[in-house]
Amino acid sequence: MRILPPRAALAAAALALLAVNTSTSAQTAAPAALPDPQATSVEALGWMKGFPPPPDKLITFDNPAGGVFPRTRWSFSHVRETVPTANVWRGGGAASPLPAAPRADLEAVRYRPLGSDQTMSFAQMIAGTYTDGILVLHRGRVVYEKYFGALTPERPHLAMSVTKSFVGTLAAILADEGRLDPAAPVTKYLPELKDTAYGDATVRQVMDMTIGVRYSENYADPKAEIWDYARAGGMLPRGADYAGPKSFYEFLGTLQKEGAHDEGFAYKTVNAEVLAWVLRRASNQSLADLLSEKIWRRIGAEQDAYFMVDRIGTESGGGGLNTTLRDLARFGETMRNGGRAADGQQAIPKAVVEDIRRGGDRAKFAKGGYALLPGWSYRNMWWVSHNPHGAYMARGIHGQSLYVDPKAEMVIARYAAHPVAANAGNDPLTLPAFQALAEALMAP
């Protein structure tokens, strides 16, 4: 008899939606020993192969192990088969072109990982970080594109917290249109939150994650609020005697203040969920419809995207978006071009892109404890490097990345299924690799 809700199959994977673990230690050190990427691949282990697959190779919604590595190397590319979703329509127009100009030499680009005295190649980074797919654009042309395991060009992949950057961009777009006031109190849009941590917060503080809220995403603590959030959103089984919140909205209404607002950066997924709720109220649209209208139809997306949803159909704005790798790259290329899509139309207001590129308050960001990201900031739910190239990123745990380098005219879209959730498992290898690739593409 099935006793788990439909979402339970991605129990651990759904927790991957939540965000980078915010403890300082999780940001500075990854486990020394990791599973062999080749030995844990979909091909090597044979997940979901056969008609039907053997019982020990099944990944189903009533098996909580379906969301545990190495099964995630299949399930991150098959979310729609296991949980409820809301569609993001691509529109009826033609997809924007992605002309190919392959560079076989890029795999041999060498660089030094953070904290290492040894070099490695770009190809070694791809293999060693459990990459599901990676696409590199240079001046709008595809110079590198490869897929691994369960991911294919037409198949959406779970974007994790890359979702937040879409939500932050939508908020900035509505603000540019005069339909959302970042300086306004959250309660202007959500009076339901007047007795919560957000009762005296502004929308801008939510957009830049400088909210003082009692909410922990420490995966090692079974009492952390992250587990309550997951149960409320239907990401974990609740049990027969469960009496807690049963939707994202209900859970957000329980959050209480801890500390002061606007003193420092504190990355917490619930802020993205609050912002997604604000967007629905300000636009009178679902998050899926708003994303379709304001971004997805305008950038020439090739495939529909989709969101994971809770039991009442509310999209997860903190990490539930699924897109193809190519369409993620199209979004990045639009951002690189100041909001202009491939057809020359201004898909995203130029002022929105410029505001993101300028970044946020670096002193406030430094209080977040991200030792691997010195000098960075956070603005409109984007991570801004302030490096000489002006690079900025959308980031999600388990290795999801959208890296935009304006100076190098480069965009990197990457999906992965790294066994380590925190970005400390990827950053030491991926960030310097992205920089090395940019420099190689700029070379005469």
> What integer is the mean pLDDT of 76-80?
94
* Percent of the chain topping pLDDT 70: 91
Lowest mean pLDDT among 57-66, 117-126, 305-314: 57-66
Give 90-126 pLDDT, tens digit per residue.
999 999 999 999 999 999 999 999 999 999 999 999 9
Banded model confidence at residue 7, pLDDT cuts 50, 70, 90? very low
* CA-based torsion, 323, 327, 329, 333: positive or negative: negative
State the catalytic residue, choosing from 41, 75, 77, 161.
161
Which pLDDT value is given to residue 16?
36
| pLDDT of 187 above 80 | yes
Give 123-169 pLDDT, tens digit per residue.
999 999 999 999 999 999 999 999 998 999 999 999 999 999 999 99
Active site (annotated) includes residue 247: no
Q: What is the pTM of this model?
A: 0.93
Which pLDDT value is given to residue 6?
31
Distance, CA of 96 to CA of 90 (rounded, Å)? 11
